[in-house]
Structure 1
């Protein structure tokens, strides 16, 4: 092997490689080599093989140290395994793969939610045993944000929905001469379902997203790591005040939603059906028992617990980027609304079977 094995002589060297291979690459001598660059080293590796090139790079006394280093580097680079060609996929396979991936994500989220629920219950039990650890100031501040600041939007929304329900009931029931039962329709719908469900959906969109954004921003700024470094428990410091505040806020807001919805229905009844407020209250007292109120208000703490857990859990899942904060905030709202509706449907089936 003689001459310059460089890029300038690349084509000529390629034509010589066939003759060299027939003469036996293992018997080649490197004493006549005068120049070597990366292109020439690649041709040498192709000619004598990766294993032989690595041996020459280690023990080739005929090569300078720089050439041996270059030959070893090129041999190592050309020794990388080939990337397997991806198998051809079909539309059906992609759909099934997507379904499988979604199911695995749902399973992982369910396991994470159950584990986080256990941590919250453990922190709550520890706080109950040690009253000195209660953070009343934080709880009161969260109650102000989650309850008092949400009263206007909850009252306005349920008032308008109550008016719409009463208007639809009056329109439909008038064909049967039963317009008087519009009072029962509004009362039953808001005491049992609409009051607590609309409030829970509003809290999922308003409060769960706020919890996720707040805790997520702290996670991104490494403030939660600083809390742990100070020997404090993030569950007791961040999660429990929000959880307890929402457990107080949801029943109160649900009660306000029930009153506002029935007030909107009473207004429509007074304007469209000539049912006076006194008659509305009389029919309400006569036909609707307290049981329906208790059935509706009993779901409020359950919804509050679920919304607070999901909002805080998604906040702890945030990584160190603004995009992660946004995606987990969206995820917390979607998960909260979905679980609220599922739990409400299961509760309705349970109440129906129990005859409540």
Structure 2
């Protein structure tokens, strides 16, 4: 752009011409002089608001430097005055192109319609119910895909990826043993301690053995294991599958003629189906050990008395109630975690959102399933 060395500051002056009064723009209309640019733009706006008598044309042929800020402010002054039909005259080609590029648009915002808060609440509840229904339908459909994938592998077992399955057993089961055993041990200690303190008031401290044994074997062992697996392995499944989805590795598997469900999801789900019952058993034993130690220290119940009382308080059905729940909880965790991983979009935000959703949904469904099993076993007196 050419510059007049004698004119630097932005200025608006007016000249009378045969066509009417013309606003003459001079000086440099650039961002370093933004304060003066705004002042002169206000003068131009006032003149344009008076109509053709105030200003019939805008001459920018004698302007010095012009950047996007100056061009935008000039066009804004014209639009704010409602004088969009008043032309810019004598504009150099580069200035004309810049004015067209930064054309000022006054975006009109409409106020949202007023609604009753009760109506908004009902709308939100309705949307939540619909979203839950859609999520349930999608989850059921995905469960069908997993079951179909397992059935195909049963028909053609040579397609089963044994190394991937062994690796998932190691990741989900063996490496989860220390943390699950430790937490179960501490929970068993807490249950026994609180039971002894409460039952001592009635001289029934010995019944803490019944409480600990039944509660741990029927509920706490499998529930703690499932919740820990949902937080540890479920989040890992979602993150791994989501990362592969973001990097288009899953699409590459499909291009290669491989089924992602068979290759990626079935080994993970089967590893959970086999691993969670074992973890539930170890968690129950650790909790009973913690309860026995606390009962010995706080309640004076020696190990031989504890084991004798425990043997009379429980039977094989008590143990089986907890073990029967484990595969179903493992299936729920595996399906939810895998589906959330396959639903990841192309951003890190989506990955984090789906991982969080997978953990929350898995833990919620584990607790719901535990409640349903409790009702079922109570109904059949098992």
Query: TM class by shorter-chain length?
Result: 0.7 to 0.9
Name 1:297's counterpart in structure 2: 323
Name 2:375's counterpart in structure 1: 349
Determine if the alignment matches structure 1 residue 270 to structure 2 residue 301: no
Contact 2:213 2:313 in 1 (8 A): no
**Local SS of the residue matching 1:298:** helix
Give the alignment partner of residue 205 of structure 1, picking from 220, 224, 231: 231
Q: CA RMSD in A?
A: 3.5
Give the alignment partner of residue 171 of structure 1, picking from 197, 203, 208: 197
Shift of 1:108: 2.1
Which string of whole-angstrom CA distances, capped at 9 and with x for unpartnered residues, describes residues 166-213 of structure 1? 111111111222111111111100110000111111111111101011
Q: Kindly indicate which of the two structures has a greater share of residues assigned to helix.
A: 1
**Local SS of the residue matching 2:373:** helix
Name 2:146's counterpart in structure 1: 120
Shift of 1:16: 5.4
Contact 1:5 1:36 in 2 (8 A): no
The runs of 5 or more residues in structure 2 that have no matched partner are 1-17, 26-43, 62-73, 86-92
Find the aligned partners of 1:285 and 1:129 in 2 and give their Cα distance: 44
Find the aligned partners of 2:58 and 2:83 in 1 and give their Cα distance: 18
The runs of 5 or more residues in structure 1 that have no matched partner are 19-32, 50-65
Which string of whole-angstrom CA distances, capped at 9 and with x for unpartnered residues, describes residues 48-93 of structure 1? 99xxxxxxxxxxxxxxxx9xx99xx99xx99x99664321245444
TM-score normalised by length of structure 2: 0.75
TM-score normalised by length of structure 1: 0.80
Name 1:252's counterpart in structure 2: 278
Name 2:163's counterpart in structure 1: 137
Name 1:307's counterpart in structure 2: 333
Shift of 1:224: 1.1
Find the aligned partners of 2:24 and 2:317 in 1 and give their Cα distance: 91
Larger mean CA deviation between 185-194 and 274-283 belongs to 274-283
Find the aligned partners of 2:164 and 2:21 in 1 and give their Cα distance: 79
Find the aligned partners of 2:49 and 2:313 in 1 and give their Cα distance: 99
Name 1:162's counterpart in structure 2: 188
Name 1:60's counterpart in structure 2: none
Q: Kindly indicate which of the two structures has a greater share of residues assigned to strand.
A: 2
Determine if the alignment matches structure 1 residue 181 to structure 2 residue 207: yes
Find the aligned partners of 1:48 and 1:274 in 2 and give their Cα distance: 94
